Chains A and B, each alone.
Chain A
């Protein structure tokens, strides 16, 4: 089975993880237009190539970010967004 390296628990079988989807910027609730809200709700990054995405290690409820290539399925890195700089 494919392994995913959790920043807290180390490499684990990928079926221990829940996929939470691509990282996206929050819309500002005070200023965002209807169109901006619609974009925020329905559009997500979906490139053939590198993607930053949220994952959760279910048994420990630890949420982190992975950078993965969506064509080769290689995981480039995983990190805890609380401690790492987002590129």
Chain B
């Protein structure tokens, strides 16, 4: 890395190499077609090509690479969930993130600075104790801290807000981290392309072909393609795309909004989140304060922003850090998210043979970009769903075997 950088800097003509090849012509047939060129689809393509020798793979993206939720999220990476099944999965996801820059030879700016979730009620404190016990048992770094502990971790916090919403304690997750989201997508895309995967941008899928209960191909805006396997990894459009194959997912689609402030001096060196205020903050390496919160109140397939949601985020932020009141908002945006009833994803097989699902990632799927792609590549390559994915099967909604992560997901993402 160091020598390459030096060589690059000292060379007279900077070599201009694009990381992602231009979109090639579509071939009539591929082994695997991945619908959706976000982080998840690209990660699956990479793992198929790199670890399973499956290289005749096409990633089809209707817009531009990672233009969906992958580059709209607020990059919280954590494993402090509630269920053992959930924690085991997200823990593997976090470990893959920690190794990702080396794995992809692409600096994803992984920064493991820890996440502190705040409690303003006794009920939240009780829930924190449960999560701390579950997380410790599963081998993650997590503990409940009292108000003194909170102050030690983040001295800038306004602890009492005049007594209205005083901070009673927190859940400290030393494993919590952040990374550069677009770099994650670019890293996977560049390495997948190097292994022979084709990435087709501006290629929209509008039909999925099925014969005798088995997937046989897809219809795209640039023509039809035959294939043996299809993966659906379409973020906010998962419900709609699965319907093309007659699969009705238990998903409702809601926007999620976020914003960043103008850059300020570094002062916040951990991830902060408040359940009661529905607000979380992280300071980016550029100094901008990234602020996110809860979902929009009603179903919508639109990335418009609303003043009332932004006001809500600003209010929560000023509650926690009153000195932010004069700081200006620099950018604001939204993504559309595919929410499941239990706040856990849907991964693995579908009722159609060889049609695989990587869906229901809602407001929390960035942290799983590596692990979901890795495990779904395993499904496609071996035809078997690995044990770690069993709890996330679509049939859990027929068996009433939900994996409830609502409390551990709300406002922390």
Residue contact B308 to A1, C-beta cutoff 8 Å: yes
Pick from B240, B306, B400: contact of A48, CB below 8 A.
B240
Closest beta carbon of chain A to B245's beta carbon, Å: 16
Closest beta carbon of chain B to A24's beta carbon, Å: 12
Residue contact A73 to B398, C-beta cutoff 8 Å: no
Residue contact A70 to B301, C-beta cutoff 8 Å: yes
Contacts of B297 in A (CB 8 A): 18-19
Contacts of B300 in A (CB 8 A): 70, 73
Across the two chains, which residue of chain B brings its CB closest to A72? Answer: B302
Residue contact A42 to B397, C-beta cutoff 8 Å: yes
User: Chain A, 22-64, contact with B by CB distance < 8 Å: what is the 0/1 string?
Assistant: 1000000000001100100111101110010100000000000
The segment out of B204-212, B246-254, B277-285 that lies at the interface is B246-254
Contacts of A42 in B (CB 8 A): 250, 341, 397
Closest beta carbon of chain A to B44's beta carbon, Å: 24
Give the most central of A19, A41, A42: most B CB within 10 Å.
A42
Pick from A15, A22, A46, A70: contact of B308, CB below 8 A.
A15
Contact of A71 with B by CB under 8 A: yes
Residue contact B250 to A48, C-beta cutoff 8 Å: no
Contacts of A2 in B (CB 8 A): 306
Contact of B328 with A by CB under 8 A: no
Residue contact A46 to B298, C-beta cutoff 8 Å: no
User: Chain B, 158-186, contact with A by CB distance < 8 Å: what is the 0/1 string?
Assistant: 00000000000000000000000000000
Pick from B253, B298, B400: contact of A38, CB below 8 A.
B400
Pick from A1, A18, A34, A51: contact of B299, CB below 8 A.
A51
Bound CA span A15–B308, Å: 9
Closest beta carbon of chain A to B204's beta carbon, Å: 13
Contact of B214 with A by CB under 8 A: no
Bound CA span A72–B297, Å: 16
Residue contact A38 to B398, C-beta cutoff 8 Å: yes
Q: A38-B397, A42-B341, A53-B299 are in contact. Are A73 and B240 (CB under 8 A)?
A: no
Pick from A18, A21, A46, A71: contact of B302, CB below 8 A.
A71
Cβ < 8 Å to A, chain B residues 270-310: 297-302, 304, 306-308
Residue contact B253 to A46, C-beta cutoff 8 Å: yes
Residues of A within 8 A of B (CB): 1-2, 15, 18-19, 21-22, 34-35, 38, 41-44, 46-48, 51, 53, 70-73
6 A-B contact pairs sorted by A residue (CB < 8 Å): A41-B341, A42-B250, A43-B397, A44-B252, A53-B299, A70-B299
